[in-house]
Amino acid sequence: MRVVLRTFPSRPCLFALPVLRAPRFHANAIMPFPHTNVPPHMPVFNARTGAGGDSHPDIERVLFSREALYERVNDMAFKISGDYAALGATEITVIAVANGAMVFAADLLRGISLNTRFDTVRASSYYDGTSPVSVPRIHNAGRLELGGRHVLLVDDILDTGNTLALLRDMLEVHRPATLRTCVLLDKKARRVTPYTAEYVGFDVPDVFVVGYGLDFAERYRNLPFIGTLKPERQDISSWD
């Protein structure tokens, strides 16, 4: 028996050509893996634990969704990479202010295309409440040498300006080549010490915000969005 194998269709099939899709994310976003539409580090909703959604029973209003944060942080990383490259820098040293800036810094770092050294300093100015104590405290000043380096100080929110002003003075002692500041949020209405950050994600009104690393009494840092707390949750004596 003779088996006739026929190729069908006989002409090249257009459907077999790779499909060119428009990128789903912001044009400026750095996509380290351009072959996929899944952003590599965007928080994913976890159906089993319920984590990762854009709501929480204690949240009154969502100000910045996880998608908005993802896009803005990638834009900032793109801008930072371009600005330092234009300076002729091949490497930067990111100093994140723990704990609040850790989530923001983790996402920002992964969008920066230059070689990046990373360290943290620990500061606190809020203790179990929504009002700052007047003098911030620095608990751990980091260990990387900074002399002659391009240093980028990263914090979650610029509020009164006291913490960053203190940290900037501390870092300047090491004589970095450049020292710039990058904050996700800028609450200009509450400034006590004059301070301008070179890179700002969003301006925020004078409301207490939590999520994406920002806490109230060490809670809510894990929320993938930023929002305001319900007033009844702002009294920790009512907590379990």
- Cβ pair 181, 197 in contact under 8 A: yes
- Beta-carbon contacts of 21 under 8 Å, excluding residues fewer than 6 positions away, are 37
CB nearer to ligand XMP: pick between 43 and 100: 100
- The reply to whether 113 sits near ligand XMP by the rule CB under 6 A is no
Q: Which H or E element spans position 86?
A: helix 66-86
- The reply to whether 226 sits near ligand XMP by the rule CB under 6 A is no
Rounded-to-integer distance, Cα 74 and Cα 82, Å: 12
Active-site position among 107, 155, 156, 159: 159
| 237: DSSP letter | G
Q: How far apart are CB 52 and ligand XMP at their closest, in Å?
A: 20
Q: How far apart are CB 117 and ligand XMP at their closest, in Å?
A: 21
- The reply to whether 215 sits near ligand XMP by the rule CB under 6 A is yes
- SS3 of 43, please? coil
Q: Which stretch binds ligand XMP (CB under 6 A): 60-68, 85-93, 137-145, 151-159?
A: 151-159
CA 116 vs CA 90, 125, 177, 203: distances in Å: 9, 28, 15, 26
Rounded-to-integer distance, Cα 52 and Cα 224, Å: 6
| 69: DSSP letter | H
- The reply to whether 155 sits near ligand XMP by the rule CB under 6 A is yes
CB nearer to ligand XMP: pick between 107 and 156: 156
Q: Shortest CA distance to 160 belongs to which of 191, 137, 124?
A: 191
Active site residue 58: no
- The reply to whether 228 sits near ligand XMP by the rule CB under 6 A is no
Give the residue, chosen from 65, 116, 125, 234, that forms a contact with ligand XMP under the rule CB under 6 A. 125
Rounded-to-integer distance, Cα 202 and Cα 192, Å: 19
Give the residue, chosen from 159, 179, 197, 229, that forms a contact with ligand XMP under the rule CB under 6 A. 159
- The reply to whether 227 sits near ligand XMP by the rule CB under 6 A is no
Q: Which of residues 68-107 bind ligand XMP (CB under 6 A)?
A: 97, 100
Q: What is the dihedral of CA 177, 193, 63, 210, to 10 degrees?
A: 90
Size of the site for ligand XMP (CB under 6 A): 20
Q: Which residues bind ligand XMP (CB under 6 A)?
A: 97, 100, 125-126, 132, 136, 155-163, 208-210, 214-215
Catalytic residues: 159
